[in-house]
Amino acid sequence: MAKTTSPRTWLTTLALVGAFAVTGCGSGNDSGASNDAAGATQGSTPQGGEQTSTDSSGTQPQSGDSPSGEAQSGTPQAGASATPDADHSADVYELTETYTDPAKLFTVKYPKSWKVQKDNGYLELTSPDGKVQGKVASTKVRPPKGDWFTRPTHPLIGEETGLSKQVGAQVFTYSTYVPAPPRSERTDSILWGLTESGGQGIVSLPGGDKRDELWAEFYYAPVNEGNRPLSQSQGVKLVNQINETDEAGTVDAILKSIRAVH
């Protein structure tokens, strides 16, 4: 696989570092760490949890301060990102294979070296080392609820993708730290996906049919094994660290390759 030694471009364009809802319900024994955890909510309805805000450096502001670059809830923002048409990451990361949704709603490019599963009506991908597992599906085939979907409440927004021109709304990549649910065998992870402005991880495809929507989730795990949930600033630092890996670069390229089928 072709590699690049420059920092991931999506890291240079992060402009929204907002509050994250704690995954699952907080426990009385975890009152310190759980209320300060950074993450996203499992299932279609965000779970409760104390929300905090950070500035673009990941530092929590003092009481009464308004963090620079903070957006209104559910409204992703990004900095001066590259023009979607100018992105060549599919070539850099050798995305030589193409998946077409059975209903002809979208296409996705991915590397030949990744394991692929297509038999369930949507695309499942696993990196060669097994650290990354992802799904790309239409909501018609796979409704975004339960353990199948993690709603990012305030993700770290990356770059705009070429889907924007097709759907008539801005579509961005995002990344976030997701703490494991309390009393769960699951581990903490880093989540990557796509989101429309205010869409919280869902992208509406052309045609106007409410059922014709897209969601994409890629998890990098395990991270922070055996430890208490990370604080807001620690979660941001971990996301930035993992976003420097080749796995993150490949996922970023896969997400940017997604296109609607007219």
pLDDT digits (tens, 9 = 90+) for 165-198: 998 899 999 999 999 988 888 899 999 999 998 7
Residues paired with residue 219 on neighbouring β-strands, in sequence order = 133, 191
Integer angstrom CA distances of residue 97 from 29, 163, 181: 48, 19, 35
pLDDT of residue 108: 97
CA angle, 213 as apex, 111 and 125 as ends, to 5°? 20
Give residue 199's pLDDT band: very low, low, confident or very high (50, 70, 90).
Answer: low
Percentage of the residues of the chain whose pLDDT score is greater than 70? 64
pLDDT of residue 90: 82
Output the pTM of the full model. Answer: 0.71
Average pLDDT over every residue of 155-163:
93
Average pLDDT over every residue of 140-152:
81
User: CB under 8 Å, gap of 24 or more: what pairs does 181-187 form?
Assistant: 181/23, 181/24, 181/42, 182/24, 182/25, 182/26, 182/27, 182/30, 182/34, 183/27, 184/24, 187/221, 187/222, 187/223, 187/224, 187/225
Give residue 244's pLDDT band: very low, low, confident or very high (50, 70, 90).
Answer: very high
The single-letter code of the amino acid at 23 is T
Q: Is the pLDDT of residue 11 over 70?
A: no
Q: Among 196, 163, 158, which Cα is nearest to 74's?
A: 196
Q: Is the pLDDT of residue 252 over 70?
A: yes
pLDDT of residue 230: 93
pLDDT of residue 145: 78
Choice between 33 and 124, residue whose per-residue pLDDT is larger: 124
pLDDT in tens, 26-77: 333 443 343 344 456 544 333 333 333 333 334 333 333 333 333 333 444 4
- 105-114, 150-159, 229-238 — which is least confidently predicted? 150-159
Give residue 239's pLDDT band: very low, low, confident or very high (50, 70, 90).
Answer: very high
- 73-82, 87-96, 108-117, 206-215 — which is least confidently predicted? 73-82
